[in-house]
Structure 1
C-alpha cells in the first residue's frame, strides 16, 4: 500500500498525522568533513548486515524523497559517527542545514567521547550550539548475548560499568543534555542498573532496545531489560529500526515488537523515528515502516497517535512545532 492508502485505512477518519522524526542521519560525502565508516572503511559485522547501499550523501532532498506522501514537520538528527575529532564540527554542518530549512533538522543529538581528556571542552562546544539537545555515546558492548551473560566486557574501559565512562554520563545534566542509549537487547538490564544511579538524567532508548534475536529466549531477555528501563521515570524510547541482521525485514515480528514496546512504555514516553537512511537496508520502503508502526499502534486514540508521532519527541528534545490551526 502507498502512503495515501495507508493513511486512509489505518488512521482515524479526518485525523491529520504530523511526524516529528525523532532519529535519522544526515551526511554529505561530497563536502568537507569525514564519516570514516561510510567513506573509507567497511564493517562486515554491522548490526544489520551489508550497508553498501547507503554509502552515499543523504540530506534533506534524499530524506523528502524517501518519505514522500507523509507529513513530516520536523526531524532530529542523531550523531552519525562523523570522525571523532570533528564532533563539534558536525554541529556546525547541521546548523548550516538548519539555516536552509529550520525543520531539517529541528534539533540534534551530538556525540561526545566520555573517556576523552577534552570531554569538558567538547560538551561546552556542543552547549554553544542551540540545536544540540542531547548526546549519544555508545558504551563498549559484547558482540553477542552469550558474551554479555559471561561478563565479557563488564568493567572494561568504556563499558557500562566503567566508572570513568559513567562520570562522563553524569556531566550531561549540567548542560541540559539528555542521553541517547544505544545498546543491543542483551545489555538493556545492565544499562537500567547504571541509569538508576543517575537520577535526573533524561534517557532515550534507541531503536526499541534493538531486539535482534526474535527467539523466545531472546525476546525474554529483551522484555526484561525494557521493563527495567521503563520503570525509571526519566526514560523514554524511540520506536524505530526494526531491521534484523543480514538485512532482514520481518513484518509480523516487527509489528509485535512495536505493540509490546508501546505497552511497556506508554505512548507518552514513546516517539516514532525513521532511522533513515539506515532503515533502507532492511525495510523495503518508508511506507512499509509506517505500515508496521500504524498496525502495531492499532486502536490508539488521536491523543496517543499525537504523542507517538510528534508530541513526545517535541517535549523530550524541546522542539517547538507550529500549531496546525494557525498555519497559513
Structure 2
C-alpha cells in the first residue's frame, strides 16, 4: 500500500504468535472494567492487526469495555489533497467502531474513541482538516496526534517515518495545538525523555489544550542510553515532576515494550509473565502515579507495537499486580475512569 513504509524501515518488532503462546496465565480480577487507552490498527508488510486480531486480544479474558484508537498512518486516502489524506484513516477506523458497536462481536466497544492525524504545522489552516476528520469519525473523533518523537542518534527510532526535530517548539505547531481546544479535542504527544522540556514548554504555551503524554514520557534505554537506566531515571523523574505541575497534561501508562526503552523481553525463550513485567516496570509506573495522581493517569496496551514483547493477558495482569494495594476509586481511574474523562467516553448508550 502506498501509505505504508517498507518493511525494512519499521522499528517495530514482529509479532510471533507461536512464541506468545508459550506463556499462558489466568486472568486476574476478570471483572475489573478496563478502557484500553491506546492501541493501533494496521495492515503492513511487517504484520496485520485488524479487527479480528484486535477483538481476539480484547476478548482474551480481561473486561475490556472500550478502546481508544490512536493514529498510525493506516489506510490513508490514495488521492486528493495531501492534508486530507489522513481522513481516510478515521473513515476506516469508524467503520471498525461501527462493526464493534453492533454487539455481534461481544460487549466491548472497540475504537469507541478515535485519535486521528491532522498536520498541526498547518497552524490555524488545519481547521478544515479537523472538521473533515470529525465528520468522518461520526462523533467518535476525540483527539489528534502528530509524529513528534525525535532523537539525533539513529539507534533511537520508534516511528517508521521519523519526524524532523523541534516540532513541539515550532510556532506553527503551537498554533495548530491551540486550535484543538475550540473542537474539544485532546492532543496526544509521543516524546522521548530527552524532549520533555519541549513538552513542558508546549503545555505552558497551550494552557487551554488538553495534552496527553504517551508511553510514560518515553524513558530511553537503547543506543547511547543502554546501561544507564539509573541516570535516565533521575533525568526523567525530574522532567516528569515539572510536567505534572501542569494541570492540562494527562499521562498514559504503558508503551514499555518498545526496543527504544532498552527492554529485551523478546529475546527470552518464552514471553514474560505478568510478575516479571510488574517487577521491571514498578519504578516507572509508581513514579508516574505518584507525580500525576490516578485521576490523570490511564493504562494503555500500545498494541500491536508492544505485542512483539509480551501478550495481552500478561500485560493487563501486570498492571493489576502493580496497583493491587490501591483503593477501588484509584484503580477505577487508572483502568477506565481517566480515559473516559479525557476522551469523553460515557457508560451506556452511545459511547
TM-score bracket, normalised by the shorter chain, equals: 0.7 to 0.9
Deviation at 1:24, TM superposition (A): 0.5
Q: How big is the shift at 1:170?
A: 1.4
| 1:22 maps to 2:25 | no
Structure 1 residue matching 2:348: 3-state secondary structure: coil
Secondary structure of 1:322's match? coil
Q: Which string of whole-angstrom CA distances, capped at 9 and with x for unpartnered residues, describes residues 265-287 of structure 1?
A: 1111111111111111122x122
C-alpha distance in 2 between matches for 1:319 and 1:90: 20
Report the counterpart of residue 112 of structure 1 in structure 2.
Answer: 118
CA contact (8 A) 2:116 2:144 kept: yes
Aligned pair partner of 1:131 in 117, 140, 161: 140
CA 1:271 to 1:3, structure 2 compared with 1: closer, same or farther past 3 Å? Answer: farther
CA distance in 2, matches of 1:97, 1:119: 25
SS in 2 for 1:19: strand
**Aligned twin of 1:248:** 264
Equivalent of 1:198 in 193, 203, 206: 206
Contact 1:203/1:234 (8 A) holds in 2 = yes
- Deviation of residue 311 (structure 1)? 0.8
What does residue 229 of structure 1 align with?
A: 243
Distance 1:79 1:5, change over 3 A: closer
User: How much has 1:18 moved relative to structure 2?
Assistant: 0.6
Q: Counterparts of 1:190 and 1:317 in 2: how far apart (Å)? A: 23
Give unmatched runs, 5+ long, in structure 2: 1-22, 77-81, 102-108, 157-163, 222-227, 266-275
Q: Is the 8 A contact 2:203 2:249 kept in 1?
A: no
Deviates more, 1:179-188 or 1:210-219: 210-219
Is 1:112–1:122's contact at 8 Å kept on the other side of the alignment? yes
What count of residue pairs does the alignment treat as equivalent? 283
- Taking a change above 3 Å as real, the CA distance of residues 298 and 260 of structure 1, as seen in their structure-2 partners, is farther
Within 1, Cα distance between the matches of 2:127 and 2:337? Answer: 31
Local SS of the residue matching 2:110 = coil
Asked if the contact 2:149–2:192 (Cα under 8 Å) also holds between the matched residues in 1, the reply is: no
Matches within 5 A, 1:295-314: 295-314=321-340
TM-score normalised by the chain length of structure 1: 0.79
Contact 2:257–2:306 (CA<8 Å) still a contact in 1? yes
- Give the 5 Å matches for 1:163-182: 163-182=171-190
Match of 2:5 in 1: none
- Structure 1 counterpart of 2:86: 87
Give the equivalent residue in structure 2 for 1:48: none
Q: Secondary structure at the match of 2:315?
A: helix
Map of 1:122 onto structure 2: 129
Unaligned runs of 5+ in 1: 9-15, 30-37, 40-51, 148-155, 324-328
Measure the CA separation in 1 of the matches of 2:36 and 2:127.
29
Please report the RMSD computed on the Cα atoms of aligned residues, expressed in angstroms: 2.6
CA distance in 2, matches of 1:304, 1:240: 17
In the aligned structure 2, how far is the partner of 1:140 from the partner of 1:274? Answer: 18
Q: Does the aligned pair in 2 maintain the 1:79–1:110 contact within 8 Å?
A: yes
Are residue 75 (structure 1) and residue 93 (structure 2) matched?
no
What is the TM-score when the length of structure 2 is the normalising length? Answer: 0.74
Aligned to 2:346: 320
Q: What's the counterpart of residue 28 of structure 2? A: 6
- Is the 1:178–1:202 contact (alpha carbons within 8 Å) kept by the matching residues of 2? yes
- Shift in Å at residue 296 of structure 1? 2.1
Change beyond 3 A, Cα 1:100–1:187? same
